[in-house]
Structure 1
């Protein structure tokens, strides 16, 4: 780093007598000044970095709080992913796995005061993923190494299931109320998945979309498909008469996962004439993007339906509620941008959209956990009121 101009002039004008009287003072002063300036520069850079980090943190907190308020929760989103997934890498007994699967029956649904208000720590979804991935690998060996075409059917179906199904199990494990059984989840997955495809195709009869994907057609696709899935999601939410946000997330995820699995299997099947290698590439693409596409988008819509209707019966006027419009609009936007031909790096775009989708999902999960606290407090007040009346 250079000295300031005034310091350079001072050094040049010093005469020999001054230099002889103070031979070491000038260099020492120069060195100290340089060190002081270097220190100031480092401190300023550190302050700038801290300021940027704090600005980003403030932006994140304000954004998540604002979105959370629409879901009935005004707290900042605080989530420790390392803690949430801490059970994934620990050994678990068969009994522990059975306890997860038997949740939601008449005899295994916990009382409201027993429901946990803490973030869930799912683990079973990772075992489901490993099991499906192993089956897929064995089927791939059967076709690729032994040349047996009988494995292609299984390869298509398992390939379509390998990622979306574990994501659905993650939602199942995250339902703190544990009031929906795995049998009901699979019922919604299969029946809801097919019904959502049919409802979407019906809507396409009224809103024809060109095969050439443009920005406009991508928006239409997002609206039509999210509405098609929303109709089926609303049906199951209404039939189960639930007002719990975590239930809405699970029901929506089940419908969206069914839609995604059947759609992916169809896409993979259509690429069979292109050859085994091309078909395998399509399987990989549909698999990893299944981390957060239709399943997450429809989960967001399912939560929005529950938030909007509350404990009332759903009516179509709820669709005009700003809370539903926001979350439904968010799902449509994520879906539309996913299909838009706007980025050369499709992988980066998908990763960004998956991240945003899960961010919204975690905000809604936090609102669901806050609802647990609210319901428990209301139940406690009611019990106290009943006890007071009984004493009187």
Structure 2
């Protein structure tokens, strides 16, 4: 992944095409599976449903900037390879460091949530570092896009696993997997991709062109995203409100989501301002 300067381009709306096409395919596969009772379509439904929003999120970020040195192929590679590496690393470390849950629906403590956040955010940023080892990594906008791709690849794979678990724990009810897929799709833009994008942008901002530097700002931002992640997983979610068509959303989750997106927008604007003078 050697970063080379790309010709500046105008922001596009191809992310909308990806969204509508993916949404149409998801609905069609759900309808056909329901009408035909063809269980062979179950993996197709779950994969399309759980990859749709993560892919659209990354496409949205890529379409709304024109100053990156990354190509779509590099972004796609980061999504796939980075997501897999992050999930594998987190799975091994969580199996070693976390106590086993006695029930599949058991809520995590805040302490366990923080440990999960530390493991998963650490694995994702290590995947970013691995992918960017042979490219210039001094452009925050490149770091933001790489982090979003790795984080959303991680989220898509994790959500697919959650959907499969919902199928198992509901004793083979397809509807449970579909509901889990829709719920996780709604919250996908506010979690893994956002947190890793923030941290990766700051890491690139603090680094030299061919050498990563772990500075105090990087450590502080890493602690920040770990706390957000830990709060997301481990805070009591006792207060809910319902959005159409009847999905409950935790107030704590909403606050964490707004905070994460707000910081991501700030980091994005700052990265954009820093790169524009280099383009002139």
- TM class by shorter chain equals 0.7 to 0.9
1:239: which partner in 2? 134
Contact 1:133 1:162 survives alignment (8 Å): yes
Kindly tell me the number of residue pairs found equivalent between the two proteins: 262
Contact 1:194 1:259 survives alignment (8 Å): yes
Task: Note the 1:339-354 alignment, pairs <5 A.
Answer: 339-344=233-238, 345=240, 346-354=249-257
Q: Per-residue CA shift, 1:299-356, capped at 9, x if unaligned?
A: 1121121012143501xxx33x221122212211221111124231243332322221
Match of 1:191 among 81, 84, 92: 81
Q: Which has the larger radius of gyration?
A: 1
CA RMSD of aligned residues (A): 2.2
Name which structure has the greater RCO, CA cutoff 8 Å, separation 6+: 2
In 1, Cα distance between equivalents of 2:65 and 2:97: 36
Contact 1:252 1:303 survives alignment (8 Å): yes
In the alignment, is residue 149 of structure 1 matched against residue 39 of structure 2? Answer: yes
Give how far 1:206 is off.
4.8
Match of 1:299 among 184, 197, 202: 197
Match of 1:289 among 187, 203, 221: 187
In 2, Cα distance between equivalents of 1:373 and 1:183: 23
- Single out whichever of 206-215 and 229-238 deviates more from structure 2: 206-215
Give how far 1:164 is off.
1.0
Contact 2:67 2:276 survives alignment (8 Å): no
1:48: which partner in 2? none
Contact 2:67 2:279 survives alignment (8 Å): no
In the alignment, is residue 355 of structure 1 matched against residue 258 of structure 2? Answer: yes
In 1, Cα distance between equivalents of 2:274 and 2:111: 38
2:71: which partner in 1? 181
Task: Note the 1:116-155 alignment, pairs <5 A.
Answer: 121-155=11-45
Match of 2:152 among 238, 245, 257: 257
In 2, Cα distance between equivalents of 1:227 and 1:178: 24
Give how far 1:246 is off.
0.6
Contact 1:304 1:327 survives alignment (8 Å): yes
In the alignment, is residue 222 of structure 1 matched against residue 117 of structure 2? Answer: yes
In 2, Cα distance between equivalents of 1:270 and 1:204: 17
Give how far 1:109 is off.
1.5
Task: Note the 1:153-164 alignment, pairs <5 A.
Answer: 153-164=43-54
Match of 2:206 among 308, 326, 331: 308
In 2, Cα distance between equivalents of 1:175 and 1:202: 36
In 1, Cα distance between equivalents of 2:57 and 2:143: 15
Classify 1:303/1:209 alpha carbon distance in 2 versus 1 (closer, same or farther; 3 Å): farther
Contact 2:11 2:65 survives alignment (8 Å): no
In 2, Cα distance between equivalents of 1:105 and 1:324: 22
Give how far 1:293 is off.
1.0
Contact 1:200 1:225 survives alignment (8 Å): yes
Classify 1:122/1:334 alpha carbon distance in 2 versus 1 (closer, same or farther; 3 Å): farther
Give how far 1:240 is off.
1.8
Match of 2:6 among 109, 114, 117: 109
In 2, Cα distance between equivalents of 1:124 and 1:176: 14
Give how far 1:166 is off.
0.2
Q: Per-residue CA shift, 1:332-384, capped at 9, x if unaligned?
A: 1221111124231243332322221111111111111111244357xxxxxxx
